[in-house]
């Protein structure tokens, strides 16, 4: 074949391969949990690029120029929404020719951040944290029923982006939804083994509001719903009093948050830190929570014995 014809063929190859269904659909996800959900639905039919990767705190994430580059080649862009990954707007602007982002929490009735959830002293905090009043809690994935809404939204977006693979995406989504429904039942059965009065947990920041509401566990945190604000000394002191008064033994760090405040709090309250919960990001592939499903199994494996007081 002529040299020039060969070159033309090579240049046309990726588009041709995609049309024939051989090349996976390029998808960009804002953070690791969304990235895993797309992979679970799409399998080898998708090539997923995650922007805020394993163990990365997406609240305070600073995108790099290479992230804008990844958006330019994407057929589908996914974000959580509810103010969690608002930096995606800046990134999409910087990228220019990227597709509009699909919001995975679309249709979910967002939980508002109730002030008393943090330390029981709403009146003190209201003045200090006015910027948080009435803001939506973005951590909807911590309720597996909401997780199923994420999956339906992602599957619908994949089908629009690549109609030729719609049936495959549908099959992938249905199998995944069945697993998540089973996992939701397992989580409830696990929590049911803990006496109601002991279902109390302290974590670094307010990532488990949806988990608490769905599964009947009360979570307390020195840091608010975003990891960007630091708790005051008065808030930490108040939480230590609550811990002692209620005999709370389930105190946890989070994989992507700064551990300093929580370690100090646990030391002053005389309790042991029971381990590391996966809250806003997954672990790397060789860690204990490389998938959304593994994250729940890992967290429950730590939470249940700690709440019982056996830790
Ligand atoms: Zn968070």
Query: Distance from the CA of 204 to the center of ligand 1, in angstroms?
Result: 9
Q: What is the pLDDT along the chain (311 residues), one digit of tens a residue?
A: 455 555 454 444 444 445 555 799 999 999 999 999 999 999 999 999 999 999 999 988 999 888 988 899 999 999 999 999 999 988 998 888 778 899 999 999 999 876 654 443 333 333 333 345 578 999 999 999 999 999 999 999 999 999 999 999 999 999 999 999 999 999 999 999 999 999 999 998 889 999 999 999 999 988 777 777 778 888 888 889 988 998 898 999 998 878 888 888 899 888 899 999 999 999 999 999 999 999 999 999 999 999 998 54
Distance of CA 112 from the midpoint of ligand 1 (Å): 14
Give the DSSP H or E segment for 220.
Answer: strand 218-220
Distance of CA 227 from the midpoint of ligand 1 (Å): 6
C-alpha of residue 224 to centroid of ligand 1, in Å: 9
Q: CA 39, 42, 44 angle in degrees (round to 5)?
A: 85
C-alpha of residue 212 to centroid of ligand 1, in Å: 14
Q: Which structure tokens are listed for 154?
A: 């992602």
Query: What's the 137 CA to ligand 1 centre distance in angstroms?
Result: 9
Across the beta sheet with 101-103, the strand order is 46-52, 25-31, 76-79, 101-103
Distance 7 CA to ligand 1 centre (A): 49
In the block, tokens 């003045």 appear at 127
Which DSSP state fits 45?
G
DSSP code of residue 43: G
């Amino acid at each position: 074949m002529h040299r020039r014809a060969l070159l033309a063929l090579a240049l046309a190859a990726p588009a041709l391969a995609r049309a024939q269904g051989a090349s996976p659909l390029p998808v960009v996800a804002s953070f690791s949990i969304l990235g895993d959900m797309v992979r679970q639905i799409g399998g080898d039919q998708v090539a997923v690029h995650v922007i805020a990767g394993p163990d990365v705190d997406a609240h305070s994430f600073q995108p790099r120029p290479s992230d804008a580059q990844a958006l330019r080649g994407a057929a589908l862009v996914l974000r959580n929404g509810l103010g969690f990954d608002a930096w995606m707007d800046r990134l999409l602007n910087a990228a220019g020719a990227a597709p509009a982002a699909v919001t995975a929490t679309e249709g979910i009735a967002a939980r508002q951040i109730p002030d008393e959830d943090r330390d029981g002293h709403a009146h003190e905090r209201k003045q200090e944290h006015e910027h948080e009043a009435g803001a939506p809690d973005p951590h909807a994935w911590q309720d597996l029923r909401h997780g199923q809404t994420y999956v339906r939204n992602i599957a619908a977006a994949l089908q629009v982006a690549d109609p030729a693979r719609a049936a495959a995406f549908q099959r992938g989504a249905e199998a995944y939804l069945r697993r998540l429904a089973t996992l939701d039942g397992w989580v409830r059965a696990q929590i049911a083994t803990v006496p109601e009065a002991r279902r109390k947990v302290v974590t670094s920041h307010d990532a488990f509001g949806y988990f608490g509401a769905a599964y009947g566990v009360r979570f307390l945190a020195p840091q608010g719903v975003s990891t960007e604000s630091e708790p005051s000394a008065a808030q930490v002191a108040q939480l230590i009093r609550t811990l002692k008064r209620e005999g709370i033994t389930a105190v946890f760090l989070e994989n992507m948050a700064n551990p300093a405040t929580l370690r100090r709090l646990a030391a002053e309250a005389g309790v042991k830190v029971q381990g590391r919960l996966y809250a806003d990001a997954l672990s790397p592939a060789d860690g204990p929570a490389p998938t959304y499903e593994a994250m729940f199994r890992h967290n429950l494996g730590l939470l249940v014995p700690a709440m019982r007081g056996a830790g």
